[in-house]
Structure 1
Amino acid sequence: MTITIDQAIIHEITQNNEGKLSCRLRPQPLLNGQAVEVMLEELHQTYTSKAGKGFGHFGVPEGSDAEANDAFSNALDEYRSGDLGFVEFSGKAGKLLQDELAKYDFSQGGFLLMACYTSLASEFLFVALLNAKSSMTVLDDMELTQNNHLDLNNLQLAARIDLTELQAEPDSKKYISFIRGRAGRKVADFFLDFMGCVEGVNTKVQNKNLMNAVEDFVAGNELTKEERQEVREKVFDFCKERSDEGLDIDLKSLADEITEDGMDSFYDFANTGDYELDDEFPADKATLRQLKKFSGTGGGVSLSFDGNHLGERVIYDPVSNTILIKGVPANLKDQLDRRLKGE
């Protein structure tokens, strides 16, 4: 187990034939048996590995009702101070989610899971709206029966509050992380609104700025092509490792990792430019992967290659807007040869 569970509970939000929502509250926490441990461990791993998460904090968006937006955070404060039990706190959250869902026509309810657990010395509150999925099971007498189970693989509406960071740095803009919807931030608006969460850190922008700073840094030092690529790969490997461990990119630690004798300080370089980098921010591997690979799609053509091939196996001519590839991949060459032979 990579997590230590404190408490967990599930409430159900249902919709009747008239479309009215109601919240069926569980009167006590889930027993921390093996089923709960396995479920939360799986959800923790799935959530941590989700790419492209957004980050935010408790706040009031423009034009919103401040009192309504504070309801979840106020209840959380009461729970953290001991004035409210976990069951009562989660019950308030269930009612808040029910009220928020009632504003929309698309909702059919689901199971609200709330869990407090510790991982890597940080305490988290995990909040997710899970759906049930139908499946077929073979009984002992070889008869088929249909049952429902929680769809843990399709985790779309979930957020995690870093309670340790919230307590240590209440002014932080990133102690809440959330899964972005498939169509972008707006898909999960109602889920974040019920918690009173507003987006605070644009992870993609921070990672794009870091990538630009690295490119300018290697260009400004007298490095060979191989040395420049080595720095890029060190940056990517460092950030990937931090991301896999659920940690933020620490700019000072990254600078120590890539700055060698005879080179300028990357930390000083990044802070003297117009990169607007925070000292710590979450990693976005999809953005940083551009340090190692070039890729693009458009007009029916997709192309991807390792960065160290540029100028050698892959020759780019910006004037003629063409790319020459030396040494066509064997499987692609076979397809091309077959097509030419057929024509």
Structure 2
Amino acid sequence: MTINIEQAIIHEIAQDNEGQLRCRLRPQPLLNGQAVSLMLEELHQSYTSKSGKGFGFFGTHGDDGEANPAFANALEEYRSGNLGFVEFSALASKLLQDELGKYDFSQGGFLLMASYTHMASDYLFVALLSAKSSMTVLDDMELTQINHLDLGNIQLAARIDLTEWQADKDSRKYISFIRGRAGRKVADFFLDFMGCVEGVNPKAQNKSLMNAVEDFVAGSELTKDERQSCRDKVFEFCTERFDAGRDIDIKDLADELADSGMDSFYDFAKGGDYDLDEEFPVDKSTLRQLKKFSGTGGGVTVSFDGGHLGERVIYDPISDTLLIKGVPANLKDQLDRRLKGE
């Protein structure tokens, strides 16, 4: 068990016979300890491992979007002990119902709220789950249809780092949320019901970090292999942070590089025009460019390890060509077969 669950509850928001959304509120927290533990452990692991999450904070009426403070106020009351968990979750359900009522597309769902502790931090997990039909076999070998929560396809979920929120009111990243397949807009109503305003842009911060690393090694007296080793070290450091659910800390990264003989990265990164925060979440898809070159366009996809540039892969910007030495065996076989056929 990697998390310590305090309380969890599920409420349903569904359409009534007249097509109006209504809340069906559970009067007490979930009681089946083993089932709840297994479900939340699975959700915690899958949520933590999701890449490309957005990050934000509770906005005020002075922020973009005229954020509704009702959820944050209720959460404050719950954390201070003036409001019970069940009552707080019921208020949240009503807020979500009101927000969903503004849209024609919503069919509702099951609102899951869970308070738990992980690695000395308190979290509140909030997700709108949908039900999925499937078939099962009964004891008498008869088929029957059942509904179950679709835990493997969560699109509307957010996690609030309660410890960071209460320790640092100026933080702009204590709320993380899943971005929809089509981007931020898919989850607008879900974040609006919490009064969440997007804050830190992890992709932009990671891009700036990558640029700082490239400029740092370019201006150094390192050999080609040492430069690639520096890129690999940065990628490994950030990957370890991502796997542990922690942010990139520029000072810690600079200390890691200094231990490998690459000094002064902190002063270089913070003294330039990179606009890097001291800490920010990891975006692995962006940092992967430190190790790989890849691109797609015009029906052609190319990808290769960065260490091959200048050796197995030669780039000529004047003629706009790539020369690949040592074609991969499976690609070579396909090419040979095609040439024989023609």
**Corresponding residue for residue 50 of structure 1:** 50
Equivalences for 1:163-242 in 2 at 5 Å? 163-242=162-241
Question: CA shift at 1:15, angstroms?
Answer: 1.0
The TM-score, its normalising length taken from structure 2, stands at 0.98
Task: In structure 1, give the amino acid aligned to 2:301.
Answer: S
Contact kept, 8 Å, 1:78 with 1:84, in 2: the verdict is yes
Are the equivalent residues in 2 in contact too, given 1:7–1:32 (CA < 8 A)?
Answer: no
Superposition CA RMSD, Å: 1.2
Residue in structure 2 matched with residue 313 of structure 1 by the alignment: 312
Aligned-partner residue type, residue 250 of structure 1: D
Q: Is the 8 A contact 1:221 1:264 kept in 2?
A: no
Cα offset for 1:171?
A: 1.1
Structure 1 spans left out of the alignment, 5+ residues: none
Q: Which amino acid aligns with 1:195?
A: M
- Percentage identity across aligned positions? 80
Summarize the Cα distance change of 1:109–1:270 in structure 2 as closer, same or farther, 3 Å threshold. Answer: same
Distance 1:201 1:264 in 2: 28
CA apart distance, 1:60:
3.6
Deviation at 1:19, TM superposition (A): 2.2
- 1:89-133 Cα shifts (integer Å, max 9, x gaps): 000000000000000011000000000000111100000000001
CA distance in 1, matches of 2:309, 2:231: 14
Paired AA for residue 317 in structure 1: D
8 Å Cα contact 1:126-1:160 kept in structure 2: yes
Shift of 1:145: 0.5
What's 1:298 paired with?
297
Which secondary structure does the structure 1 equivalent of 2:152 belong to?
Answer: coil
Q: CA deviation at 1:173?
A: 0.3
Residue 221 of structure 1 contacts residue 263 of structure 1 at CA under 8 Å; is this kept in 2? no
Instruction: Give the corresponding residue for 2:7.
Output: 7
1:281 aligns to what?
Answer: 280
1:53-75 CA-to-partner distances (Å, cap 9, x unmatched) read 00000004767555xx0100000
Greater Cα shift, 252-261 or 270-279: 252-261
Q: Is the 8 A contact 1:249 1:281 kept in 2?
A: yes
Counterpart code for 2:160: I
Residue in 2 that maps onto 1:137:
136
The aligned length equals 341
Partner of 1:21: 21
CA distance in 1 between partners of 2:173 and 2:32 (Å): 29
- Separation in structure 2 between the aligned mates of residue 82 and residue 262 of structure 1, nearest angstrom: 51
Specify the alignment match of 2:59 in structure 1.
Answer: 59
Within 5 Å, which residues of 2 pair with 1:85-100? 85-100=84-99
Q: CA deviation at 1:221?
A: 1.0
Question: 1:175 & 1:340 partners in 2: Cα distance?
Answer: 57
- Letter of the structure 2 residue corresponding to residue 8 of structure 1: A
**TM-score normalised per structure 1:** 0.97
Q: 2:37 aligns to what?
A: 37
1:144-183 C-alpha deviation (Å, 9 max, x unpaired): 0000000000011000000000111011000000000100
Give unmatched runs, 5+ long, in structure 2.
none
Counterpart-to-counterpart distance in 1, 2:274 and 2:285: 19
Change (3 A) 1:257 1:304: same
Shift of 1:264: 3.7
- Provide closer, same or farther for how the CA distance between residues 273 and 183 of structure 1 changes in structure 2, counting only shifts above 3 A: same
CA distance in 2, matches of 1:295, 1:259: 29
Alpha-carbon displacement from aligned partner over 1:72-92 (angstroms, at most 9, x marks no partner): 000000000110000000000
CA distance in 2: counterparts of 1:198 and 1:162, whole angstroms: 15
